[in-house]
Amino acid sequence: MNLLFATNNGHKIEEVRRILGASWKIHGLKESGVHAELPETGNTLMANAIEKASFIHDRCQQDCFAEDSGLEVDALHGAPGVHTARYAGPHADAGANNQKLLLALQDTPNRVARFRAVIALWRQGQLHTFEGVIEGRIALEPAGIDGFGYDPLFIPEGYDHPFAALPAEVKSRISHRARAVQKMAQFLQQELAYGME
CATH of the domain at 82: 3.90.950.10
d(CA 156, CA 177): 13
Number of structural domains the chain divides into = 1
The pTM for the full model equals 0.92
d(CA 154, CA 137): 6
| Average predicted confidence (pLDDT) for the chain | 94
Confidence of residue 197 (pLDDT cuts 50, 70, 90): very low
Q: Residue 67 class from Cβ within 10 Å (0-12 exposed, 13-18 middle, 19+ buried)?
A: buried
Catalytic residue among 58, 63, 68, 93: 68
Q: Does residue 107 have an active-site annotation? A: no
Summarised one tens digit per residue, pLDDT across range 36-85 is: 889 999 999 999 999 999 999 999 999 999 999 999 999 999 999 999 99
| Structural domain for 113, as ranges | 2-195
Summarised one tens digit per residue, pLDDT across range 133-179 is: 999 999 999 999 988 999 999 999 999 999 999 998 999 899 999 99
